[in-house]
Amino acid sequence: MKRIVLILGIASIFASCAKESLDALAGRVYDLASYQLVLMDSNLPQGRLPKTLDEGGELVTSDIKWWCSGFYPGSLCFAAMHTENLKLAALADKYTHYLDTLSRAKNSHDIGFMLNCSFGNHLLLFPEQAAADSLVLREGADRLASRFSPVTGTTRSWDFGKWKYPVIIDNMMNLELLMKFGTPEQQEMAISHADRTIANHFRDDYTTWHVVDYDPESGEVIKKQTHQGYSDDSAWSRGQAWALYGFTMMAVQCNEKGYPEASARFKAQAEKVAEMLLQRLPADGIPEWDFDAPEPALKDASAGAIMASAFVQLAGITRGSLSRRCITMAEKQLRTLASPRYLCEKGECKGFILKHSVGNMPKNGEVDVPLTYADYYFLEALMRISEK
C-alpha cells in the first residue's frame, strides 16, 4: 500500500512539473479572455471604447477616432471565433459597428489599424455580412490611399508636429488594408511604401528608426529620429515589433496577390529583422520598452505580443533553423505572457487581459499599464500558434 501511495505521489509531482501544452495554455487564456472581455463591456460607457487604466486603476476610454479603437472589437472577434460563444459574438458585432463611420473619416493614417482589426475580423466571424464589411474596408483603403505621395513613395503618417512629411515604422501595419481590400493601384502603393521603408528606415544592424521625415517636394530624407523611443539612435522595442510584423505580413500578402518578387524582398527583410531580434531578446522573450534604454527599464508586453504573432507567421513562410527558432521564441513569449506576472486575474484590470505594457515612455503616457493592442496581438498569436 505504501508503495502504491509513493508511486502515486511521484506521478503527481511529475504531472505538476510537466509543461502545459500550447492547446491547454490557449484554452486557459481564452477562457479568461471570454470573462474579461464581457467584463470590459459592463465597464464601458455607451459609445466608448477601452484605452488603458489610469494611475488609480480606473478605466480610461476613447471615442472611435482614437487609433486603437479597432482592437477591442477585434479581440471580441478572436474570442468569439475561438470559443463559439454567442454573447461574445454579439458584443463583437455591437462594437465593430460603432466604427461604421470611420471608413469615411479624413486624415487618419491609422485607418488600417482601426478597420482591419475590427471589420477585417468581423468579416470572418459573420460571413453573412461580408458584402457590407467589404464595402467599409474598401472605403477605408481609399482613405488611406489618399495619403500616398508619388514623390516620397509612401503614405504620410502624422499631420501634427514639426515634420514636413513624417513616416513612422508603425505605418507598415496599415498597409494590410491596402493589400487585402485595395485596388491593384493601391496595392502598388503599399509595395512602394514598404520598399521605401527598407531603403530609409533601417540601420546596418536591421534595427529601425521610428520616424523618417521626407521633403514632400523632392522626396529626399530630411532626418531620422524617434518619437516614442529612448533616443534617436536606440531601438524602440514596439517599433522593432512593427517592422517584424509588417514585413512578414507584406511577404504573405504579396505572395497571395501575385507579386512574387516583392514577396521575396519583404520576406528577406523580415528574416533579417527576426535574426536581429532573436539575438537581442532576453531569456523570457519579453523586451524592455527600448532595447537600448538604461537599466532598470520596464518591460513592454505589447511589443512581446506583437513579436510573438509575427514570429508564428514568419515561421510558416521561412525554412530550416530560422523557422524553428521563430516558433520557439513565439512559444517562449506566449508562455511568459500567460504567466501570473503578465496575465490579469479574472475580474481584475477592468476587463483587460495583459498587464505591464508601455505606450509612450518619453511623454510619460500609458506606462506599465494594460493596453488594448497588447491584448489583441496576444490573442492573435495564440490563435495562430494553435493552428500550427
In a 10 Å sphere around its CB, with 0-12 CB exposed, 13-18 middle and 19+ buried, how is residue 199 labelled? Answer: exposed
* Mean pLDDT of the region 127-133: 97
Tell me if 7 is assigned to some domain. no
Residue among 41, 170, 290, 375 flagged as catalytic: 170
pLDDT band per the 50, 70, 90 thresholds, residue 4: very low
Beta-carbon contacts of residue 142 (< 8 Å; ≥ 6 apart): 182, 186
Tell me if 381 is assigned to some domain. yes
- Say whether pLDDT at 18 is over 80: no
Tell me if 27 is assigned to some domain. no
Secondary structure (H, E, C), 244-291: HHHHHHHHHHHHHHCCHHHHHHHHHHHHHHHHHHHHHCCCCCCCECEC
- Say whether pLDDT at 8 is over 90: no
Which pLDDT tens digit goes with each residue over 145-194?
Answer: 999 999 999 999 999 999 999 999 999 999 999 999 999 999 999 999 99
| pLDDT for the residue numbered 11 | 40
Taking the mean position of all CA atoms in its chain, how far away is CA 365? Answer: 19
- Say whether pLDDT at 5 is over 50: no
**What average pLDDT is seen over the chain?**
94
Tell me if 23 is assigned to some domain. no
pLDDT band per the 50, 70, 90 thresholds, residue 10: very low
Based on the structure, what is the number of domains in the chain?
1
| pLDDT for the residue numbered 9 | 43
Tell me if 339 is assigned to some domain. yes
Host domain of residue 346: 35-386
Tell me if 21 is assigned to some domain. no
Q: For residues 53 and 59, is the Cβ–Cβ distance under 8 A?
A: yes
Rg of the Cα trace of the chain?
21
Question: What's the whole-model pTM score?
Answer: 0.95
Q: What percent of the chain has pLDDT over 70?
A: 96
| pLDDT for the residue numbered 107 | 77
Which pLDDT tens digit goes with each residue over 190-231?
Answer: 999 999 999 999 999 999 999 999 999 999 999 999 999 999
Tell me if 10 is assigned to some domain. no
- How many secondary structure helices (H) and strands (E) does the chain include? 14, 9
Which pLDDT tens digit goes with each residue over 264-316?
Answer: 999 999 999 999 999 999 999 999 999 999 999 999 999 999 999 999 999 99
Which pLDDT tens digit goes with each residue over 103-128?
Answer: 987 778 999 999 999 999 999 999 99
- Say whether pLDDT at 374 is over 90: yes
pLDDT band per the 50, 70, 90 thresholds, residue 375: very high
- Say whether pLDDT at 357 is over 70: yes
110 catalytic? Reply is yes
100 catalytic? Reply is no
Residue among 41, 110, 213, 375 flagged as catalytic: 110
Q: Give the span between the Cα atoms of 101 and 112, in whole angstroms.
A: 14
Tell me if 8 is assigned to some domain. no
Q: Give the span between the Cα atoms of 58 and 71, in whole angstroms.
A: 19
| pLDDT for the residue numbered 212 | 98
Which pLDDT tens digit goes with each residue over 30-39?
Answer: 999 999 999 9
| pLDDT for the residue numbered 105 | 78
Q: Bigger pLDDT: 318 or 14?
A: 318
| CATH number (domain holding residue 276) | 1.50.10.10
Question: What is the number of residues in the chain?
Answer: 388
